[in-house]
Amino acid sequence: MTIKQSITAIAVAFSVVLLLAPGVHAEEKKSDKKEEPKQTKVVVQAGDTLTSIADAHQTTYVQLFNANESLASPDAIDIGNEIRIPAADEQLPDRYSEFAAQAAAAQAAAATYTAASTASYEPVYSQTYTPGAQAVYATDSNGNTYFKGYCTWYAKERRPDLPNMLGNGGQWVANASAQGYATGSEPRVGAIAETAGHVTYVEAVNGDGTITISDMNGAAGFGNVGTRTVPASQYQYIY
């Protein structure tokens, strides 16, 4: 082997050693590491809606709902809730379509009641109950033709803007909807809440998925007003 060939062989071997050196591999691995995208979150303040938060962050309320599994409804957020703002190109589950389908199904179920039941409903004027010595009649309260002592009488007292002749408890949502009143499955303070055979008044909407209601002829008994906390999902609402 000539001196020139020996020098060339040594240079090639030295280059291989450099390429295989641990420091070189460490540098290559470091360059491959991707930084995690930063998360943007906002805390709900008084007066905020999902739409107003979306507008402030150049996105839509649908995207916000899809990105935040803690939200049960796009129409109900509470002060102090933490809302994550998704990236513009983020792939999100389509939670909103599922929510809309469930809401439509609930509305369709309520619509199975017909307004015809209203025509056959007549308030009771002559029957009385006697809490003590004095009889109380259905016509005692001006503008309220429901029989006092029942849940319907109390609901009408709390919501005098609603009409008489909405039927018995369990018929109100369908009949109110048929007359053009707004109804739905999301709780709101001041709404009439209806479950099978009973109507109540929503005093508060709580952050844990419950509502505080007041009613007559409920747990407190006939002619008595009581309050209690119940799951919001068990009711339909008249707004």
The full set of domain ranges for the chain reads: 40-93, 117-238
What DSSP letter does each residue of the chain carry, written as one string? --HHHHHHHHHHHHHHHHHT-HHHHHHHHHHHPPPPPPPEEEE--TT--HHHHHHHTTS-HHHHHHH-TT-S-TT---TT-EEEE--TT-----HHHHHHHHHHHHHHHHHTS-THHHHH----SS--B-SSSS-B-TTSSTT--SPBTBHHHHHHHH-TTS-S---STTSHHHHHHHTT--EESS--TT-EEEETTEEEEEEEE-TTSEEEEEEESSTT-TT-EEEEEEEGGG-EEE-
Per-residue pLDDT of the chain (239 residues; tens, 9 = 90+): 555 555 555 555 555 444 544 544 444 455 555 565 677 999 999 888 899 999 999 999 999 999 999 888 887 788 888 999 999 999 999 999 988 888 777 666 555 544 444 444 444 443 444 444 434 444 444 578 787 788 888 999 899 899 888 888 889 999 999 999 999 999 999 999 999 889 999 999 999 999 999 998 888 887 888 899 999 999 999 99
Classify 40-93 by CATH class.
alpha beta
pTM of the model: 0.46
Q: Check: CATH 3.40.50.1100 for 117-238? A: no
